[in-house]
Amino acid sequence: MTLQDNGAANYAPDGILDALAKGRPEALTRLSAFLAIPSISTDPAYHGACLEAAEWCAETLREIGFEARVEPTHGKPMVVARWRLGADDTPRAHVLFYGHYDVQPPDPLEAWNASPFEAQIVDDATHGKVIVARGASDDKGQVMTFIEACRAWIVAEGTLPVDVTVLLEGEEESGSPSLEPFLVAHGDSLKADIALVCDTGQWDAETPAVTAFLRGLAFSEVTLNGPSRDLHSGIYGGPAQNPIRVLGDLIAGLHDDNGRVTLPGFYDGVTDPSPAQSESWRALNFDGDAFLGEVGLSVPAGETDCSVVEQLWSRPTIEVNGITGGYTGPGTKTVIPAEASAKFSFRLVPGQEPAKVIDGLHQYIEQRLPADVSATYRGEGGSPAVGFDTDAPAFRATAQALEAEWGKAPVIVGCGASIPIVEAFRTRLGMDALLVGFALEDDKIHSPNEKYNLSSFEKGARSWARILAALGGTNDAA
């Protein structure tokens, strides 16, 4: 069924919103239980916790009437759940909701005010009540806004206004290595009219947003090898080549004095925003100083002729995510290391190809390696940038539903981060996505003391209830 702009976006039955209000304490209990599972996908020590989180999600969906199963992969399992109106042969809209149950490591633990996997509801001077735990915002709290909206629909109406498939993965925070093979094997059974993706945010605490474009992602880990073993820096210091020194020189040369990336062919295919797009971004009055100030910074470090919003939404980047080499333990050990490594990530814009960008990194390094140093590469891959048609009926209906809940039209934004599955949905399943989430810039995702506003959790669930009504054509007035 093709989704239509049916004018129902301002409606959701009173009973659904009442059910959400009455069930709020139990909803917070469920969220706290979910947050208590340390489902850290990047660390093999937590594989069992990831399995536990997958089973928890499947059982929670079964409780409200979904047919749910945990599908094994070569890595962390997928949770696949379906709700269909079996007795009615009338064509209905069908949506695929995507989220992830895995989380980032909580390190450094000493920076947390409480245990990262024991959810705390605390008073925040800016936002009122917030829930603090690893995964509260990214992505467990966001996932639960949708599940609680479905629960309220089924409690109040005994049905959902659309057919729903839920796909929850357990490796989003570690590069989604199992996702592509899973879509190849099971993609036909996941196809829907549109995907709903919650791994995004609001414009501010009072203003919803719909994300219309995402930067792509590429990544590489580079290891430089020098001497055949670690060397005593007193005996060999001076004549021996030091891989850390070479790596430092390579990193220092990645950007010119204007913040532009120096890799060969890096900007091939990159275009500037249209005048209309630039004007709409200026109208947002985005406070770049405040954005940086919240994390203790003051001067934009990107391309000097671009605003902060342009740097985030329309310009590509390369960043160094980590460096290792030599002795890093306590005290002193005077060595020249045999090798040094760095992890790089790229944020890409439309027109860039991940493979070509990674090849440019290889060329840059190989052209600058001194004698006695070689380079090897691993962990490479990526996905291109993606954008959506903001005039599509489902996009307009969703915007109207958000306006009905928040009392103001949503801001149409870009996102500097990447969500690889969105591109996979398009290329593998021929399906566009609606990116609606309720996180905030100050939620501290991936950092200690990650939080999620209770208002975001509560109004997020109400928003999804209205969006489901809009996409399903429900006509009962709220």
**Domain CATH code at residue 378:** 3.30.70.360
Inside any domain, residue 158? yes
Q: What is the pLDDT, as a whole number, of residue 14? A: 86
Strand partners, 79: 70, 168
pLDDT of residue 475: 37
Is residue 206 domain-shared with residue 222, that is, in the same domain? no
Asked if residue 186 is part of any domain, the answer here is yes
Q: Tokens 């290891």 label which residue?
A: 223
**CA nearest neighbour of 261 among 140, 359, 178, 361:** 361
What count of other Cβ atoms lies within 10 Å of the Cβ of residue 231? Answer: 19
Do 114 and 137 fall within a single domain?
yes
103 in a structural domain: yes
Residue 182 and residue 81 share a domain:
yes
Q: Are residues 96 and 241 in the same domain?
A: no
- C-alpha 265/C-alpha 343 separation (Å) is 20
The CA-atom distances, in angstroms, between 246 and each of 224, 256, 313, 329, 337 are 8, 18, 32, 22, 12
Domain boundary (329, 364, 383) is at 383
191 touches 430 (CB < 8 A): yes
In a domain, 118, yes or no: yes
The reply to whether 39 and 98 lie within a common domain is: yes
3-state helix, strand, coil in the chain (%, to 5): 35, 25, 40
Q: State the Cα–Cα distance between residues 323 and 340, nearest whole angstrom.
A: 7
- Residues pairing with 41 in the sheet: none
Q: Is the dihedral of CA 189, 160, 25, 197 positive or negative?
A: positive
Q: Is 399 a domain residue?
A: yes
Instruction: Clarify whether residues 91 and 167 are in a common domain.
Output: yes
Distance CA 302, CA 260 (A): 7
> What confidence score (pLDDT) does residue 473 get?
79
Looking at residue 89, its pLDDT comes to 65
Count how many domains the chain has. 2
Would residue 461 count as lying in a domain?
A: yes
In-domain check, residue 113: yes
Rounded to whole angstroms, the Cα distance separating 195 from 211 reads: 13
Inter-CA distances, 97 with 57, 79, 287, 424, 464, Å: 13, 11, 32, 14, 11
Both 363 and 452 in one domain: the answer is no
| Token pair recorded at residue 366 | 């190989």
Backbone torsions φ then ψ of 469, nearest 5 degrees: -60, -45
* Domain identity same for 200 and 229: no
Is the domain of 44 the same as that of 70? yes
Note whether 303 and 347 are within 8 A (CB). Answer: no
* Dihedral, CA of residue 52, residue 53, residue 56 and residue 62, to nearest 10: -120
Please report, as a single letter, which amino acid is at residue 190: L
Same-domain check for residues 228 and 353: yes
**pLDDT tens digits, residue range 177-222?**
999 899 999 999 999 999 999 989 999 999 999 998 889 899 999 9
The residue segments making up the domain with residue 366 are 216-270+316-383
> Are both 18 and 122 inside the same structural domain?
yes
pLDDT in tens, the chain (478 residues): 555 545 444 456 789 999 999 999 999 999 999 999 999 999 999 999 999 999 999 999 999 999 999 999 999 999 999 999 866 667 889 999 999 999 999 999 999 999 999 999 999 999 999 999 999 999 999 999 999 999 999 999 999 999 999 999 999 999 899 998 999 999 999 999 999 999 899 999 999 999 988 898 999 999 999 999 999 999 999 999 999 999 999 999 999 999 999 999 999 999 888 887 788 788 888 999 999 998 999 999 999 999 999 999 999 999 999 999 999 999 999 999 999 999 999 999 989 999 999 999 999 999 999 999 999 999 999 888 888 888 899 999 999 999 999 999 999 888 887 777 888 898 889 999 999 999 998 999 999 999 999 999 999 999 999 999 999 974 332 3
Q: What is the CATH number of the domain that holds 202?
A: 3.40.630.10
Domain boundary among 368, 383, 398: 383
Tokens matching residue 316: 């590509």
d(CA 190, CA 69): 13
pLDDT value at residue 420: 73
- 405: nearest Cα among 202, 116, 182, 196: 202
